[in-house]
Copies of this chain bind each other. A is one copy, B any other.
Amino acid sequence: MRNIDEDNITDTFMGYMGSDMDPRLRVVLGCLVKHLHRFATEVNLTHEEWNKGIEFLEKAGRISNAQRHEFVLLSDVLGLSSLVDMLHSSPQGTSSSVLGPFHIPDSPPLPLGGDLRKDFPDPILLVKGTIKDPQGNPIPDATLDIWQTAPNGLYSSQDPDQETYSFHGIQSVGDDGRYAFTTLRPVEYTVPTDGPVGDILRACGRHPWRPAHLHFIVKADGYKTLVTEIFSADDPYLDQDTVFGVREDLIMRYQKMQASSFPDEGYDLSGKVDEPYWKVVFDLTLVPID
């Protein structure tokens, strides 16, 4: 094609793709480019605006590394990550919610009843529940990958003062599908605003806050992996999460408990709790692989 114009460029792009390429890639890339072209045409995108877009992508590339994932953050604040979550959430199971840019692989094992709070002085939060199938039967071989920020609102990967796996652990559930651990109540925090995604938030007059939450990845053989978060019911940002992660079924409610009610056994902290603590019971439902 030498006489390419705004009306035929998308078809020309499609025509350039080879006949023996992966059919799914053809569909995905073709649809992406169709919408990219429509976007540029609808807004009559100028060279100056195109340039700003390129500069944005280059800046995001420069700030990214193994710990900092600016493109994930971009996807998060534009709602793309949450949309993908919704497209693949099953109404039979717990809603999925954004992985976010701070997950790190290979967290250390956290025994049933194990503790993540360590030496932090804030009140204890006991979190427990059951990993179930949609019929309510426990799934005994599930694992729960858990992570959250420290009380300063930073994940360990953002904070040189924390150990690598501070507030991270992977728990294998009990034969009855139960998980249980102690930690601290999560805090609301801002997504990183020192990069180009922060520039976008400021330019849009958007705040960078996320409501307090615990992150989970729940895996079990024969079930779809669930990437999710559970949110504090009393958080002021619950209705305006800057990454669009909140779903009604992901809201956890704290119960204030007396020290004397802390379980006598089965927890790292059994016998060591002498102040009121918080408790959350939250069941998680996995759906079978089709």
Give A residues with C-beta under 8 Å from B: 1-6, 9-10, 12-13, 16-22, 25-29, 31-47, 49-50, 54, 57-58, 60-62, 64, 69, 71-72, 75, 78-88, 200, 203-206, 227, 238-242, 244, 246-248, 251
Contact = CB atoms under 8 A, between A and B. Distances in A.
A274 to B, nearest CB: 36
A26 B72 CA distance: 22
A286 to B, nearest CB: 15
Main secondary structure of the interface of A (DSSP, over half): helix
A60 B62 CA distance: 10
Given A37-B79, A248-B3, A88 B31 contact: no
B83 A247 contact: no
B246 A4 contact: yes
Given A36-B78, A246-B2, A25 B203 contact: yes
Contacts of A88: 46-47
A170 to B, nearest CB: 19
17 contacts: A1-B239, A1-B240, A1-B246, A4-B82, A4-B246, A9-B79, A9-B82, A9-B83, A9-B244, A18-B205, A33-B78, A33-B79, A47-B84, A47-B88, A50-B80, A60-B61, A62-B64
